[in-house]
Amino acid sequence: MITLPETTGDRVVKFIEGFCVHGEGDFYGMPFKLDDWQKKIIYEMYELNDNGHRKYREAMIGLPKGNGKSALISGLGLYELLGSGVTSPLVAVAAASYEQANLVFGTMKTMCEESPILNNMVETFQNEIQVKNGSGRAYRIAAKAGTADGGRNSCSIFDEVHEFNNINLERVHYVLANNTAKRRDGIVVNISTAGHDLDSLMGRLYQRGMMKEAGKAEDPEFYFKWYGAKDTDNPKDEEIWKKVNPAIENDWWPIENLRRRFKSLPVNEFQRYHLNQWTRIEEQSWISAEQWDSCENKDMDFLQGAETFVGIDMALRHDTCAVTYGQKDENGVVRVKSQIWHPQGENYLDVQEIEAFIVELATKYKLIEVAYDPAFMERTAQVLLDRGINMVNFPQTHSRMIPACGNAYEMIANNKVIHEGDPEFTDQVLSAAQKVTDMGWRLSKGRSKRKIDSSIAMVMMLDRITAPIPKDDNPEVAIINL
């Protein structure tokens, strides 16, 4: 006879399915019905020890994107606040940024506001959910703010732990977790997709769980559940996709979504975010030579008088300067060319020659705009503005370059870019490496330190030429700050 571990999981499942509704998304306001794999996590995580207390005081749950992490952890957070029976419950919902913290906390608020039962039990505020007619609250924390509440939390939830990637963010995690450990039945719940640095908070939690699973470490109070591909798994194998994305089974995360993501993401990004697989290194080549070669068309022509967009990547000395320009046809395919300048005497660029080239482009084509990084181009931008050319300020920050790099990759991967095979342009495009940040990936010179200016200029131009912004046929000439 098999004896099942004693657990309060059934109580948790009844609370979530009986009281909680879905937040933003396709199932907004509908009752939260848990899948079997979600119930299994709950039953296991809420097992009791021989003394009738929690068996696990800390949990690490790893799931690929799209599998309902936020909804699941939001339901657990509300149970800890309203259903666990803890005296004076205090639930901290933490993430590296306010935006990330609000994904879970905002879902908890929506569940409370849209549920006819929970709505009568709590009052919701911008940063807090307070229990009516009693003590208890849930509150939001952004670790990047650099502070952590000193209260003794009965539950601390950490979303996307891979973003806790420096010593200050890790300290916030430590303070909150340490406060929670002071409560008799407190629990720390970590949930995340995989990271890229095993020498990090997230990496240490992951390796801790793997050591426990392998039987190499005694860690009785640590719960570990990881849905992810193995190093030997083929990232193209859809059976692996189904295995590590449990939401596919009931079709609320359709496999067609993953097929689209596989086509539009670099392989290692797909492995990390959608197979929950550690990539372990920060830099990867952003596209293959085969992908770039498949976009080559030596007979490509630019049409005089056609709408043309320009991106420019410029330094004043010791580096090349590239002007990459493009025209989009009726099928959304962008013809791309790049002109590259090298430093001359004393390693300075001939700025006037570069300015003259852009003015020439404006005479041959209908030049809509020039996107530039203002760091080294204030004088040139003003000169071109005075010549009647529309200038668009495009700072090369993470927030601008990360989505722009993703857009460029997707266009090249889907043959929405054509070029004439210029060898120097090709070398600069293929020399660009992929650098992962806590916000996503962007281009960098990588370890080779080869020039990549025309690649950066192309990314900027492709972002602007595909931007869903209505264009005035007769725009005022101006420097536009995006």
Concatenate the DSSP letters of all residues of 10-79 into one string. Answer: HHHHHHHHHH-B--SSTTTTSB----HHHHHHHHHHTBB-TTSSBS-SEEEEE--TTS-HHHHHHHHHHH
The CATH number corresponding to 289-481 among 3.40.1260.10, 3.30.420.240, 1.10.10.10, 3.40.50.720 equals 3.30.420.240
Per-residue pLDDT of the chain (482 residues; tens, 9 = 90+): 456 789 999 999 999 999 999 887 777 888 999 999 999 999 999 999 999 999 999 999 999 999 999 999 999 999 999 999 999 999 999 998 888 888 999 999 999 999 999 999 999 999 999 999 888 999 999 877 665 555 789 999 999 999 998 888 999 999 999 999 889 899 999 999 998 777 789 989 998 998 888 887 899 999 999 999 987 788 999 999 999 999 998 778 889 999 999 988 888 889 999 999 987 544 567 888 889 999 999 899 999 999 999 999 987 556 789 999 999 999 999 999 999 988 876 667 888 999 999 999 999 999 999 999 988 788 899 999 999 999 999 999 999 999 999 999 999 999 999 999 888 898 789 889 888 887 889 998 866 567 899 999 999 999 999 997 644 444 455 566 65
pLDDT at 406: 95
Distance CA 302, CA 289 (A): 24
d(CA 192, CA 208): 15
Rg of the chain taking only CA atoms, in angstroms:
26
- CATH superfamily membership of 9-227: P-loop containing nucleotide triphosphate hydrolases (3.40.50.300)
How high is the pLDDT of residue 346? 60
Residues of the chain within CATH 3.30.420.240 domain(s) are 289-481
Which tokens go with 103? Answer: 């994904």
Cα distance between residue 5 and residue 50, in whole Å: 10
pLDDT of residue 122: 94
Question: What are the two backbone dihedrals, phi and then psi, of residue 97, each rounded to the nearest 5 degrees?
Answer: -125, 165
pLDDT tens sequence across 34-86: 999 999 999 999 999 999 999 999 999 999 999 999 999 999 999 999 999 99
pLDDT at 145: 62
In the chain, CATH 3.40.50.300 sits at 9-227
Rounded to two decimals, what is the model's pTM?
0.64
Is 197 buried (19+), middle (13-18) or exposed (0-12) by CB count in 10 A? middle
Distances (CA, A) of 112 to 29, 131, 187, 334: 10, 11, 22, 48
pLDDT at residue number 317: 59
pLDDT of residue 282: 46
The span from the CA of 225 to the CA of 213, in Å, is 9
How far is Cα 338 from Cα 429, in angstroms, rounded to an integer? 11
Phi, psi of 47 (to 5 degrees): -65, 155
